[in-house]
């Protein structure tokens, strides 16, 4: 796929190939014609386009997601397709899979999946932060209540939430001792915690909104069963990085009051610690200009959240 490029932590695709567009039309149904497409904002590991298809005089929209060719990412498509089928009837707003080309055989080598379009758009500049976080907490509780099958989460091997090369103190950490103390706490065995169904990437950039309500959850590569603090802590880390440690702490309180349970402090700290020197680049890419990102203060905000997590762990 000659128009694809992988650099600076993001998949840059100027346009879907003619092969891909032909595959989209055929997947929608006989007589379908692609009449337009638009690259959607965000997305650093894949290119996502809204594609306009016309059939029998009626236009509809579908969503095309593609990964770079030649990087062995076929499993990403295969996994997301399988996971979306698991959650399809769980009462959570998720896209439906229309077609998948796991090996890229019909799309010029770039693994692809075609999905229904959900209403709404990503909102990372909420007008009313309190109700915005409350809605996210309520959605997380709904998600964690699902009785769906998934692999048990292993903190040291699973998904991008597992440390690849061990925990490392960020180069710009104001107080390295805080991080080192938290890393030492991780040497204790993970405590038992009731396992719930996890999204695995429960972040504001993976939620669609309309009129103050979440209308869709996207990016379903990481479902597991494990401690609810993995999902909540993953979101808390993002809130601290992008907004403030105060928002992060408030989201924890909202979740706990809504769910009627306390988050396990070890698992919460584990999720908070998954931050390194590349995080600012990735978060900026995901936000994609939808709000200003204070990169210079990001590590210090995460550090405050980690210190608070350490205090809870005792």
Domain end among 81, 116, 151: 116
Residues 10 and 107 in one domain: yes
Q: What is the pLDDT of residue 15?
A: 83
pLDDT at 68: 83
CATH number at residue 135: 3.90.1200.10
User: What is the count of structural domains for the chain?
Assistant: 2
Residues 74 and 170 grouped into a single domain: no
Q: Is residue 265 part of a domain?
A: yes
Is 121 within a domain?
no
Q: Do 141 and 277 share a domain, yes or no?
A: yes
Burial of 181 per CB tally in 10 Å (0-12, 13-18, 19+): middle
d(CA 303, CA 272): 9
Does 122 map to a domain?
no
Q: Are residues 31 and 111 in the same domain?
A: yes
**Does residue 124 form part of some domain?**
no
What CATH code is carried by the domain that includes residue 61? 3.30.200.20
Q: Are 85 and 97 in contact (CB under 8 A)?
A: yes
Q: Are 63 and 146 found together in one domain?
A: no
Q: Is 280 among the domain residues?
A: yes
Domain match, 281 and 219 both: yes
- Partner residues linked to 217 by β-bridges: 207
Owning domain of residue 107: 4-116
Q: Are residues 262 and 284 in the same domain?
A: yes
The series of mean pLDDT values per 10 residues for the chain, 314 residues long, is: 42 77 96 95 80 96 89 83 95 97 90 96 96 98 97 77 72 97 93 97 96 96 96 97 98 98 97 93 89 96 98 92
pLDDT of residue 166: 72
286 located within any domain: yes
Residue 15, in any domain of the structure:
yes
Q: Would you give the distance in Å from CA 41 to the centre of its chain?
A: 14
- In this structure, the answer to whether residues 20 and 75 fall within a common structural domain is yes
Partners of residue 51 on adjacent β-strands: 37, 62
Residue 90 burial (C-beta neighbours within 10 Å; 0-12, 13-18, 19+) = middle
- Whether residue 300 lies inside any domain: the answer is yes
């Amino acid at each position: 796929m000659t128009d694809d490029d992988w650099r600076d932590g993001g998949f840059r695709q100027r346009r879907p190939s003619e092969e891909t567009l032909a595959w989209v039309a055929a997947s929608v149904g006989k007589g379908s014609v692609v009449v337009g497409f638009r690259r959607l904002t965000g997305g650093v590991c894949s290119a996502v386009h809204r594609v306009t298809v016309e059939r029998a005089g009626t236009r509809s929209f579908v969503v095309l997601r593609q990964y770079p060719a030649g990087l062995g990412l076929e499993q990403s498509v295969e996994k997301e397709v399988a996971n979306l089928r698991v959650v399809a009837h769980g009462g959570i707003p998720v896209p439906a899979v229309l077609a998948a080309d796991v090996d890229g055989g019909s799309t010029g080598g770039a693994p692809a999946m075609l999905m229904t379009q959900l209403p709404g758009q990503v909102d990372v500049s909420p007008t009313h932060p309190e109700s915005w976080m409350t809605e996210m907490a309520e959605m997380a509780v709904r998600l964690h209540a699902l009785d769906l099958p998934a692999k048990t989460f292993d903190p040291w091997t699973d998904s991008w939430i597992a440390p690849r090369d061990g925990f490392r103190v960020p180069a710009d950490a104001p107080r390295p001792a805080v991080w080192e103390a938290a890393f030492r706490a991780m040497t204790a065995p993970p405590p038992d915690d009731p396992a719930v169904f996890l999204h695995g990437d429960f972040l504001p950039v993976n939620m669609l909104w309309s009129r103050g309500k979440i209308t869709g959850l996207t990016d379903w590569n990481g479902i597991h069963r494990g401690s609810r603090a993995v999902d909540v802590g993953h979101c808390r880390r993002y809130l601290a990085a992008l907004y403030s440690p105060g928002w992060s702490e408030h989201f924890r309180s909202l979740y706990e009051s809504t769910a009627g349970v306390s988050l396990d402090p070890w698992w919460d700290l584990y999720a908070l610690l998954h931050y390194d020197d590349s995080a600012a680049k990735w978060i900026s890419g995901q936000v994609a200009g939808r709000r200003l990102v204070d990169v210079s203060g990001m590590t210090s905000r995460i550090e405050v959240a980690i210190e608070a997590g350490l205090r809870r762990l005792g």
